[in-house]
Amino acid sequence: AQSVTQPDIHITVSEGASLELRCNYSYGATPYLFWYVQSPGQGLQLLLKYFSGDTLVQGIKGFEAEFKRSQSSFNLRKPSVHWSDAAEYFCAVGITGGGNKLTFGTGTQLKVEL
């Protein structure tokens, strides 16, 4: 079965600093890959997704993610973090066969210091 790992439970960055959130997946082929963000008290919102093509994907709110097949990774980046980016970030993997559902990682809580 596919799985997704987010090794960092909590990350703290200063406002204006760059950000990278890690995501690794386990699956024999290239899955569908997603990053969602959950602001406090809110539901999840899609930041970006990757299926194929250009391995650098642009999303909303200035985020981007890079798919690296050799490392089975799909890390999320932002060059300059804003205080409003404080939230929980979830990486998710989708496989069309084997249940046809999304599997979410455990999430990374981002704190932004002013």
Residues near other proteins, by CB under 8 A? 32, 36, 41-46, 49, 51, 90, 94-96, 99-102, 104-107
Beta carbons within 10 angstroms of residue 58's beta carbon: 11
Q: Which is nearer to other proteins, 32 or 77 (CB)?
A: 32
Query: 3-state DSSP helix/strand/coil percent for the chain, to nearest 5?
Result: 10, 55, 40
As measured in angstroms, the least distance from the Cβ of 51 to other proteins is 7
As measured in angstroms, the least distance from the Cβ of 34 to other proteins is 8
Evaluate whether 35 touches 90 at the Cβ level (below 8 Å).
Answer: yes
